[in-house]
Amino acid sequence: MSGISFKQVCRHFGSGESRVLALDSISLDVNDEEFVAVVGPSGCGKTTLLRMVAGLDFPNIGEVCVDGRTVVGPGPDRAVVFQQFALFPWKNVRDNIAFGLECKRIGHAQIDASVKRYIDLMHLQGREFAYPHQLSGGMQQRVAIARSYALDPAVLLMDEPFGALDAQTRVIMQEELVRLRKNNKQTVLLITHSVEEAVYLADRVVVMTRRPGRVKTIIDVASVRDREKWNDCEHIEQVMDLPSFVHLRTMIWKILREQL
């Protein structure tokens, strides 16, 4: 069980006159193995939400729990895929992926096997010894995802992971994520500004208000997906053409537009 729960979380930045309330009593539960996407206007504090689960930021009031325990710091049970990938430029692909495994102090043979598995899984064969700057944006993101997946984390946190990619690469990576998820069910919290991406990937979509960020609405996508058999479609554009998809997307857009 590795659900995430936000309990009455408030977060403000600055002090005195310049104090800004970023998050206002957020309560939200992400169930074990559930995929939740958070959308909202920029500056609504959605990245801060994710950082709190990662243990990189902390609420002023309330608490964030993972697996029933209050988050007190970062840990390999909660992997983060950052917007700008944050690959170590001085390490090659193989060593970037191996980094988290080395922190776990497991045997070399086991590390090698695991690295190889994720290099194959993310189609990075032949680029093991390339450095990040020698790779395209899409390839870099594959490495970043492989680095997080290699730890086999219970919770996967993704902060606009495809925002820096071009449109075609983004579609490929989104499909890739769906493919990975078929074999490997994790609890996922995805921060995105793309409504389509949120509806395509998530079980539930959380829409936030503009600053101070509050939960505006939560939309259940999973029940529609199952009922309308989205998973029978092979490609993302087929799903996006379905009337049920278009309906959900438009509905979320309307709610979001009220916040702009």
Partner 1 sequence: MGEAGLTGHVRRYVLSAAGLCAFFAAWASASSFSQQTLLPGPTEVVRVFILLLFEPFAGSTLLKHFASSLLRFFGGFSLAVFIGVPLGLCAGWSRKFDVVFTPLFESVRFISPIAWVAFAALWFGTGIGGPLLIIFAGAFPPCVINAYRGARFVDERFVEAARTLGAGRIRVVFQVLLPASFPSIVAGLRVAAGMGWQSLVGAELIVASSGIGYLMVQAQGGVKTAIVMAGMAAIGLVGFLLDLTLRRAERMFFARN
> Contact residues for partner 1 (CB under 8 A)?
54-56, 73-76, 78-80, 82, 84, 86-91, 99-100, 103-104, 131, 133, 147-148, 151
At its nearest, how many Å lie between partner 1 and the CB of residue 254?
Answer: 35
Q: How far apart are CA 260 and CA 257, in angstroms?
A: 5
Nearer to partner 1, 11 or 147 (CB): 147
Measured from the CB atom, is 155 or 248 closer to partner 1?
155
CB 80 to partner 1: min, Å: 5
Using CA atoms in the order 61, 55, 148, 128, what is the torsion angle rounded to 10 degrees? Answer: 140
CA atoms within 13 A on the CB side of 74: 10
CB of 136 to partner 1, least distance (A): 17
What secondary structure letter does DSSP report for 230? Answer: G
When the beta carbons of 83 and 194 are compared against partner 1, the nearer one is 83
Neighbours of 101 (CB within 10 A): 23
Using CB atoms within 10 A of its CB, is residue 136 exposed (0-12), middle (13-18) or buried (19+)? exposed
Whole-angstrom Cα distance, residue 133 to residue 149?
21
Whichever of 13 and 99 has its CB closer to partner 1, that residue is 99
CA dist list (Å): 179 to 1, 34, 109, 201, 231: 22, 15, 27, 11, 11
Contact 129, 160 (CB under 8 A): no
Considering the complex, state which of residue 77 and residue 175 has its C-beta at the smaller distance from partner 1.
Answer: 77
In whole angstroms, how close is the CB of 37 to partner 1 at the nearest point? 20
- Computed on alpha carbons and rounded to an integer, the radius of gyration of the chain in Å comes to 19
Residue 30 CB, shortest distance to partner 1, in Å, is 18
CB of 202 vs partner 1, minimal distance in Å: 22
Instruction: Decide whether 43 or 74 has the Cβ nearer to partner 1.
Output: 74
